[in-house]
Structure formats: C-alpha cells, structure tokens
Structure 1
Amino acid sequence: MIKRLGIVLFSFLLLSGCNGSDIKRSTELEKEFHSAINTVSDNRDSEVYIKTLANFKWDKAFLINPYTSQEEIEKQISVTFKDPSNINSRDDIYLLIFLHQGKVIQYAEIDRLKSSLSLGEKAYLTPSDDVIYIER
C-alpha cells in the first residue's frame, strides 16, 4: 500500500513538473529586436522582420499586448501557455510567443521603448509574413 502510494505521488510530481517550464525565453531575440529598434531614429515609424532575428524553427508567432490576461493569451494562440512574464499586470513589454507544430517553443519579452508594436491586420506572423510594425 505504501509503495503504491509512493508511486502515485511520484507520478503526480513528475506530471505536475511538466507545466511548460521547458519553454525557453529567447533573450538573444530580445537583444536583436531592441538593437533593430534602436537603429531607427526616435520619431520614425519602422518595421522589424522577425525571420531575420529568430534563429530557430517556428511556424507562427503571436504578439501579445500589455495587460492581456492569461485567458486572452490562450484564446489568441489557441494552446495552453502559462505566461511567465505576468503581462496581465504590465505595460512595459509586449510578449512575442513562437509556436512550432502547434506547441509553444519560445517567447520573448519585448520592451516598449516608447513605441507601439502591431501586426497590422494579421492575427499572427508566419515565416513568410513576419513584419512587426513599430509606431513612435
């Protein structure tokens, strides 16, 4: 009985440890993105092409606005993702979430840097349509 209880507890701990914590924060992409923004003069609108910054395979990327709730994030990206940035209570960043084959693989916290980011009319980015618009 005790052995069986131990196995059940171990299995539970193992499964609860698989909560998406293996999803990597792409600090390298964050640095590249910030560098791209900073090369543009302060009052000019510009564009950033994510495909040139992301050195990993992805098929969709979603731009999450400040103050977006956990429920809204999951509704927007159509998969379960526990937001490690707490963007629901922050106005200083955007969240860029990358998916590959229907799974979240990486995310980046993009500082606002006195800018507004948008995807235009798109719901998400793809490697063939990867432009993020920067408005100052």
Structure 2
Amino acid sequence: MIKQIGVVLFSMLLLMGCNDSGVKRNTELEEKLHSSIMMVSDNSTSAHYIDTFTDFKWENAYLFQPYTSQADIEKQLGVEFKDPSNIGSRDDIYLLVFLNQGKVVQYAEIERLRTNFSLGDKESLEPSNDIIHIER
C-alpha cells in the first residue's frame, strides 16, 4: 500500500513538472516598476525605458490592459500563451509579456495603483524602442 502511494505521488510530481512551460514571472521587474510608479506625481505623466529594468534577452514586449481575454492575448502575441495572471477577469493589473525568438520568455504583473500605462502608438516594445508611458 505504501509503495502504491509513493508511485502515485511520484507520478503526480512528474506530471506537474512536465506541465511547466518554463515561462518565468519576473517579480524583480515588477518591484522596479512599482518603485518607478511611486515616484510619479499625481496628475502627471512620465516615460520609462523598460530595457533598463531587464537583465534577460527579449525581442518584443506586449502590454495587456485589464480584462484582456485569453484569445486576444494569443492573437496579439502570435503564439500560444496560457495567461497565469487571469487578467481577463481582473482590473487591478496590467500584464507585460516578453518574447524572444518567437517564444514567451517572461512576464510581469504590473499593479495599477491608480495608474494608467501605455506604449503610445506602438503595438509592442523592442529593446531599441522600449518606452512605456505612466500616467497618474
């Protein structure tokens, strides 16, 4: 009986490990952005270079607004990505997703904190054109 329980537990752990997509939530980036947001005065706008907050390779970054559906995220990214933040039913965060070589490599959940974020007139960011606008 104990041997059977051990086999079942081992199998469950193995399956959970196989389901990991390897996409990392970048909490360090979230903290850096949070600090930047807190420095923006109320009723003002500022611009920040995302590449200064990253220490990994990325080619494109996409910013998703609250309530963005899973289908819209995948359509804009052009790749399959199971949104772990469940932003489709949330209004308290923005989702910033980074791609490298056609794959999602990292993401960050950015707290709104009475703040609006935008990429201006761009669809996505690139390391050479990586300004995100913050409005409080």
TM-score by length of 1: 0.85
Q: Following superposition, which runs of at least 4 residues in structure 1 exceed 6 angstroms of deviation?
A: none
* Per-residue Cα deviation, 1:46-81 (whole angstroms, up to 9, x for no partner): 111100001111010000110011000000110000
For 2:82, the equivalent position in structure 1 comes to 82
For 1:17, the equivalent position in structure 2 comes to 18
**Shift in Å, 1:40:** 1.8
SS in structure 2 of the partner of residue 73 of structure 1: helix
Equivalents in 2 of 1:83, 1:19: separation in Å?
Answer: 13
Question: Could you say what the CA RMSD is over the residues aligned between the two structures, in angstroms?
Answer: 1.8
For 1:51, the equivalent position in structure 2 comes to 51
Does the alignment pair 1:63 with 2:46?
A: no
Equivalents in 2 of 1:19, 1:69: separation in Å?
Answer: 22
Q: Which amino acid aligns with 1:104?
A: V
SS in structure 2 of the partner of residue 68 of structure 1: coil
TM-score by length of 2: 0.85
Structure 2 residue runs without a partner (length 5+): 1-10
Equivalents in 1 of 2:109, 2:19: separation in Å?
Answer: 22
* Per-residue Cα deviation, 1:98-123 (whole angstroms, up to 9, x for no partner): 00100000000000110111111100
**Shift in Å, 1:17:** 2.7
Equivalents in 2 of 1:113, 1:55: separation in Å?
Answer: 25
Equivalents in 1 of 2:43, 2:64: separation in Å?
Answer: 23
Structure 1 residue runs without a partner (length 5+): 1-9
What is the total number of aligned residue pairs between the two structures?
A: 124
Equivalents in 1 of 2:70, 2:32: separation in Å?
Answer: 26
